Structure 1
Amino acid sequence: MRCQRGSVILYGTLLFLIWNAVLVLFLRARLPDQGTKRVPNNDDNTDVVGEVLRVADMLEKELESQNKILMEIQKLKLGRCAGQKKLKPMLPPDPVISVLVMACNRVTVRRCLDKLIEYRPSAELFPIIVSQDCGHAETADVIRSYGSTVTHLMPVDLADVAVPPEHKMFQGYYKISRHYRWALNQVFRSYSAVIIVEDDLEVAPDFFEYFRATLPLLRSDPSLWCVSAWNDNGRQGFVDPSGSRLLYRTDFFPGLGWMLLRELWEELEPTWPAAFWDDWMRKPEQRRGRACIRPEISRTLTFGRQGVSLGQFYDKYLQYIKLNSDFVPFTQLNLTYLKEDVYKKSFQKEVYDAPAVSFEDIQQGALEGGGPFRLQYSSKDSFKVFAQSLGIMNDFKSGVPRTGYRGVVTVFLKGRRIYIAPPPGWTEYDPS
């Protein structure tokens, strides 16, 4: 706007100079030729001619002076406008990613919220919405104590869900699924990307940095359908302690702190299940061959032993998950290696170029070299035997092992990378 105003002034000055120039030319044209002999006239005529010549000379000098001033103004204007363009480039706005905290009757939601608020870089870019089911008064008081720092939502329908008689003991799972559907419908009215966090999760210092950096991948790669902060086999002693920057693709839906886009919710919502929504997500009909991104070292830690699952897996696995403590500047890293066309080829080459070893070699510490190594399994049963013996999670969901990518599960044991892999030529999972 300032440059435009300067242009108006400049053009006005130019018109003034042109008028002066025309006036000088007019006066000179009215004078007799200096080279011809004038017929003597009376003294009055001589005085008039002399005065006109004097004025014309003055105007001509003034015109030259103003022309110099005009050139200086033009130089200053060009420099100032160029400087403004250099200092204020047109940059795309930072994306807004809402954080949806699913709460019920845990007053320890404070631990979750405190860490989210402590680590988020911007309240505008990462608005926190707490959706509280159950109507638990003490938990509601805790959430309200944060004032305008968070948005507190409460669904109206808190009644029991009508369930088949044989599912009476699973009433809690039906309520959770209903709550997820309601809360996601509310949030996606205003936001295009959402990170879902349960009220019993603590987040890492680079939790927000991780999701901000992976959002462009999720938006641009149709073979991805989520980004998760969780590694199911991320216990201390099973991850590379120096691998805080390592990210993977996985065919297994991890959950426990995960990001999805509005487009995916619009796809899932019409057939959202009445219960067991996370296992439903893992079925081939929903996954459709798509993968999630997950870290080597988890960016969330669960502290909720008590819940509808009655602590399933918590005592043996979940309480020992290692939470990342180093801040990784993911937004400054090149993450294009996670795109499917690049990742699939390089991952398969690394796995199947690795020397094959036996389970006995691993057990007896007979591995030579720094790895990686490949431990081949031939069936679900043989995988379960290996996983059980090594101490990692051994269950399958719709035929996919936890953290698996194209049938391969990667772990870090005693300082070496081990790929537990199916035979070469693997094509698809067996959901039976």
Structure 2
Amino acid sequence: MRGGWSKTFAAIGAVGLLAVSACGNSNDSGSGDSSSASKDVTVFTWWADGGEKAGLDGLVSVFGTDCKDYKFVNSAVAGGAGSNAKQVLANDLAAGNPPSTFQAHAGAELGDYIKNGQVDDVSSLYTEFGLDKAFPQNLIDNLTVDGKIYSIPANVHRANVVWTNPAVLKKAGIDANTAPASVDAWIADLEKLKAAGVKAPLATSKGFAQEMVMEAVLLAELGPEKFTGLWKGETDFNGADVTAALEKYKKLLSFTNADREAIDWPDALQYVNKGQAGYTLMGDWVAAQQLSDKVPDSAYTYWPAPGTAGNFQYLADSFTLPTNGKDPDGAKCWLKVVGSAEGQKAFNTKKGSIPARSDAVPADYPKYQQAAMADWKKDKIVPSCAHGAACTLGQNDSILSAIGQFSSGQNVQTFQQALAAAAKPN
């Protein structure tokens, strides 16, 4: 995928925003017939605004039609990649007050919930809903833990994407449509931008955004097999090759905005949109955010993070059936919608992601998703630690702590040791 991708977003269409409290529940029944709703289905997510909320609204619309006996209750908590929401959810689960269903990243992130007995096995629902045939086997394999499946994915996202401002890059004579071939080549371009007067050429933000940059560098420098091995204990995190990669990550941080620890990813994106930065590295949910913000498709380009072309670093948003959750029958109806062709189409066309179903018709989706669907089939599939596909919540919390300390301390040796300790399988 090259910079020309940005010409394809117009087909997705503008999305509407609905106000949602960032701190608690709201009674948002979507487009369903509230007069026939008799039971509340509390859906816990971190999709509180922008393209994410628009995608949720798409699911709610289908739920309102297909599950008329139930009322959707929005329990969204705002916060980048769900960091705030996960803490609220942990408190609710510990207090024995689970929602009807909650959003979680598919993959290793679910391991903590499974170990704590907080989610039920939904394998039988795969058969009942026909998902065992609709989802690709490689995805089902990634979702299976000891022969059981604990969530139903709504989508697949790509994490390793860089978004650019062509006008800013032009100041330094850089072609915004072509990705640098390597991390070193990207650093050289960042040097050019800084020399051209761009104070912070690479915009980033706190927490998981920096983790995504680090992951992209590790993937580029180590390759997909050794990168994936980092999270499985198969690649030595204390190795010299990892040290060299982390030194390059440190160099990239030197080109970023000084307020990176004080902002979230949409703010970093705005630095690019406003011409204050040339690049930001963020997942392809940016596509929907740009549409929500009415940014012209001609104002930005995008491509795989330098050195990672041919690798699709994935994550998947999924929904669970909590143990002793509220109204499990209503939750199952929600899960059926999440996995359905109609539900996934309504969701993904607005969120910028691609359907998890392999029977989806590409022509039904905007051009960006068509390209992403094609890459998902042909590229090497690599999991994201930052978004739960490769790491448990416990592992990732420790990694985020190390990243926060490194953001200010900049000691590669200490950072590498902390990452090695954090990544140990638990």
Shorter-chain TM-score bucket reads under 0.3
TM-score after normalising by structure 1: 0.22
Higher relative contact order (CA 8 A, sep 6+): 2
Write 1 or 2 for the structure with the bigger share of helix: 2
